[in-house]
Amino acid sequence: MKRLAVYCGSSLGGSDAYKTGAIELGKELARREITLVYGGSSIGLMGILADTVLDHGGQAIGVIPRLLEEKEISHPNLTELYVVESMHERKAKMAELSDGFIVLPGGAGTLEEFFEVFTWGQIGIHQKPCGLLNIEKYYNPLLHLFDHMVEQKFLQEKFRSMVLVDDSPSRLINQFSVYTPPAVKTYHGEKRIILE
């Protein structure tokens, strides 16, 4: 694994634990010589994460849409910064550059980015691992929703278990290295039969 995308909040969140978690992840990426690919911003958890990677001798690539360049204040010291024209282009570029996706705590933007790679994995657009860094159990409500979705037969267990979860960056990255993607979801005929 050479490059990992990290989706995370443009805010710091309501507990210092989120900042500590971002720092821990940044150190782990630098230690393993894994390049960070992220949204290119200098604010919130995004900024803390990039600063930590760079301060520990690692590499950080940012991908920021022109319309957010000023609002989110692009990070001035990145190894590389791509300025793209749209949010769609940002996500596509981040996905193309990365071998997997880590999700730190964040808001609606973070979840939007997570759900795109999760659902694209389900239908086989990519075979890369995707994991939630569940700091302070931040994602427990989402994990409960996944259980409910499985119970109610809107989500198959094999796709639910595609989403790797850990509260330690090191253990989460270890899970990434042994990840095997499930057989993809396909639909057949008008009845939308899911083929195993």
Task: Catalog residues that contact ligand AMP under the rule CB under 6 A.
Answer: 9-11, 39, 41, 68, 72, 87, 90-91, 106-110, 112-113
Shortest Å distance, C-beta 110 to ligand AMP: 3
Nearer to ligand AMP, 81 or 150 (CB): 81
Shortest Å distance, C-beta 141 to ligand AMP: 15
Nearer to ligand AMP, 89 or 167 (CB): 89
- H/E element, 23: helix 16-31
Shortest Å distance, C-beta 45 to ligand AMP: 8
Nearer to ligand AMP, 15 or 177 (CB): 15
Q: Which residue is nearest to ligand AMP (CB)?
A: 109
**What is the C-alpha separation between 91 and 37, in angstroms, rounded?**
11
Nearer to ligand AMP, 101 or 190 (CB): 101
**What is the C-alpha separation between 66 and 70, in angstroms, rounded?**
8
Shortest Å distance, C-beta 187 to ligand AMP: 26
Q: How many CB atoms lie within 10 A of CB 3?
A: 16
**What is the C-alpha separation between 180 and 107, in angstroms, rounded?**
28
Nearer to ligand AMP, 10 or 35 (CB): 10
Asked if 122 contacts 185 with a C-beta cutoff of 8 angstroms, the reply is: yes
Asked if 84 contacts 139 with a C-beta cutoff of 8 angstroms, the reply is: no
Q: Which residues contact 187 (CB under 8 A, 6 or more apart)?
A: 193, 194
Q: Sign of torsion, CA 97 101 107 113?
A: positive
Shortest Å distance, C-beta 56 to ligand AMP: 22
Picking from 38, 44, 41, 43, the residue whose alpha carbon sits closest to that of residue 12 is 44
Shortest Å distance, C-beta 109 to ligand AMP: 2
Nearer to ligand AMP, 65 or 129 (CB): 65
